[in-house]
Structure 1
C-alpha cells in the first residue's frame, strides 16, 4: 500500500528521517511535513480535503473533472489544487492532469499544553 504520512514536525525531526533513510538505505515512506499546526490547517482546509477524497483512487483527472466531482467552480478549485500541488499532496501527470498518487493517508500530530515558564 502506498501511504503518505502528513505530520507536524520541526526541522530537526525531518532531517533525522532523511538521514535515517540515507544511512540505512531503507525508504522511510512518503512524508509531507508542516512546521506547525497553523501551516497544516491553512493548507489542508475542509474544501481541499474534499478534493483529495474526490480524487482518491480515481487516477489522473482534469481540473474540470475535479471541479465537477466536488461541485465547485473551476477557478476556486484551481487555487486549491495549486496549494495541494505546492504541498506535495497532489502531483501533475505527464499529460498535465492532476493525480492523488497515494492509496492511504496517515495524519500524525500531537497537541499538548505549552509548558509554563
Structure 2
C-alpha cells in the first residue's frame, strides 16, 4: 500500500528530516519509502486540501489515470470548478499528470499528520 503523508512543518524541520534520511542511508539503515508533502502552516494545508479538493483526491485514490471530466462526474460537480481545483492540486504536488494524458493520484491512501495546540 502506498501512502502520501501530509504534515505541517517549517522549512527547517523539513530540511532536518531530509538530512536525517540521507545520514541513515549512508550507514546502511533502511527506512520505509514514503512520500511526504509538507506545508508551513495549517492555513496553507487547508487552502490546498480544502474539503472539496480532498473529495477529488478521495475519488481518484487507487483509480489510475482519469480525465478531469471523469473526476467531475465522480464528485458530481461542474467541470470548471473541478478543473480549477485540479490545477491547485497539480501545482501543490498532490496529484500528477499521467503519461498519455489525464491526471493521477498515485497512492492508495493519504495520511494527514498534524497537531493542534493551544494559542499562546
**Rounded Cα–Cα distance in structure 2 between residues aligned with 1:98 and 1:83:** 13
The alignment yields a C-alpha RMSD, in angstroms, of: 1.3
**Rounded Cα–Cα distance in structure 2 between residues aligned with 1:36 and 1:96:** 32
After TM superposition, where is structure 1 displaced by more than 3 Å over at least 4 residues in a row? none
Work out whether 1:101 is the aligned partner of 2:97.
no
**1:97 Cα deviation from its structure 2 partner:** 0.8
- Structure 2 residue aligned with 1:49: 54
Structure 1, residues 4-34: CA drift from partner, whole Å, max 9, x if none?
A: 1100101111001111222222455211100
> Structure 1 unaligned runs (5+)?
none
- Structure 1 residue aligned with 2:5: 5
Aligned residues: 115
Counterpart of 1:94 in 2: which secondary structure? coil
**1:106 Cα deviation from its structure 2 partner:** 1.1
Structure 1, residues 57-91: CA drift from partner, whole Å, max 9, x if none?
A: 11100111011111111111111001111111111
Counterpart of 2:15 in 1: which secondary structure? helix
TM-score by length of 1: 0.91
**Rounded Cα–Cα distance in structure 2 between residues aligned with 1:2 and 1:21:** 19
| Structural mapping, 1:11-50, within 5 Å | 11-25=11-25, 26=30, 29-50=34-55
> Structure 2 unaligned runs (5+)?
none
**1:56 Cα deviation from its structure 2 partner:** 1.2
Work out whether 1:70 is the aligned partner of 2:65.
no
